[in-house]
Amino acid sequence: MYLLQKLNRFVIPRTELTYPCHQLKMHQNAAAAPVDHVMPDFEDACPYDFKGEPSRQTMVEALSTVDFGGKVVAIRPNNIRSKYFLGDLEAIMLGAPDRFHGIILPKTEGPEDIIHLSKLLDALEERGGWTTRVQIEALIETPLGVVNAYPIAKASDRMAGLIFGIADFAAALSVRENVENQNQNFHYAKQATVVAAKAAGLHAVDNAYLRLVRKDTSEEEAERIYDGLRRKNIESANLGMDGTWVIHPQQAEIANECFTPNDEMIAHHQRAIEVYHQLGGGSIADPETGEFYDEATTKAMLMDLAKAVQAGKLDSAWLAEQAAKSKEVTGYDILQVMGRVA
């Protein structure tokens, strides 16, 4: 999760909007989008002619002038083996101290990549006079990255999350189709990313859905695209993903909905947890609905309700009280263990 020190809150992103960083207008549009997190990109989305100084100047200008509100701002430099990487990092760290929250490291292959980045951030924070600490999300988008996902997740206390990148991963495996049936075709890699992230107490973010509605898209085709977006993200949430990349603001509303408990679920979980504790815990059947509850099922509900708190749909004090009741018996608070609370 991201700890936004100046705003005194934490964010587990449901939606991370990625866009090319070389045009100021793109930053302004992103700032207005209904997403939790924006990801200006020096890497794959940036045209060759704007690599280096042109994109860096625009990025620093945007960080200095655009109001991103309460969003997480995490920047993707060119990858660590690129000739542009160090210059990208120096430009933003020295040109915009305390104006963003994280670095998204593309094509992370092993823990040594994260350790190298973390040491660079140590030095650049000192040189730039930072008063906050930059966090790191690692892009898991190569076979080696998947194999090393847990060591990557544990490589630095700056780590906030892991992101699965489907396009580069599919290219490395020579898989041509990466949109339809992706949660089946890439099930192992996605869940390996989730398991590594959760084992380290980090958030896990799914890849983008690479279909957009255009001005000339028919209503029937638009409905098919939005249905595909919804299906992909519901399935991703069921794999344990906390959120998803989005590549256009048009995807944000559906994506947010897929990773946020609805009002009916929140009411059900609240009542179930209260009934569970009223009846003394253990393995019980709800006297009204016949549903089975035990310590494990109620912990799953607590995890869902943590997302409701972050979405502003549930009081955090109520959730903390219920988690404390569980901890009193089991010896641990699942929300703390899994990084669901600051």
What DSSP line would sit under 95-143, residue for residue? HSTTS--EEEETT--SHHHHHHHHHHHHHHHHHHT-SS--EEEEEE-SH
| Same domain (yes/no): 117, 223 | yes
Q: Domain ends where: 192, 227, 258? A: 258
What is the domain-level CATH number for residue 193? 3.20.20.60
Q: What is the 3-state secondary structure (H, E, C) of 54-77?
A: HHHHHHHHHHHHCCCCCCEEEEEC
Residue 23 maps to a domain: yes
Proportion of the chain above pLDDT 90, given as a percent: 86
pLDDT above 80: residue 6: no
- What's the total number of domains in the chain? 2
Identify the three-state secondary structure at position 204: strand
Angle at 271 between CA 334 and CA 338, to 5 degrees: 10
Looking at residue 177, its pLDDT comes to 86
Q: pLDDT tens, 215-254?
A: 999 999 999 999 999 999 999 999 999 999 999 999 999 9
Looking at residue 9, its pLDDT comes to 80
Residue 116 maps to a domain: yes
| Same domain (yes/no): 127, 189 | yes
Q: pLDDT tens, 181-217?
A: 999 999 999 999 999 999 999 999 999 999 999 999 9
Residue 342 maps to a domain: no
Q: pLDDT tens, 84-125?
A: 999 999 999 999 999 999 999 999 999 999 999 999 999 999
| Same domain (yes/no): 145, 203 | yes
Looking at residue 291, its pLDDT comes to 92
Answer for the pair 299, 275: CB distance below 8 angstroms, yes or no.
Answer: no
| Same domain (yes/no): 227, 247 | yes
How far apart are the two ends of the chain, measured CA to CA in Å?
8
| Same domain (yes/no): 273, 184 | no
Range of the domain at 300: 263-337
Looking at residue 223, its pLDDT comes to 96
pLDDT above 80: residue 33: yes
> In angstroms, rounded to a whole number, what is the distance separating the alpha carbons of residues 166 and 178?
7
| Same domain (yes/no): 56, 120 | yes
Q: Domain ends where: 232, 258, 284? A: 258
pTM: 0.93
Answer for the pair 294, 282: CB distance below 8 angstroms, yes or no.
Answer: yes
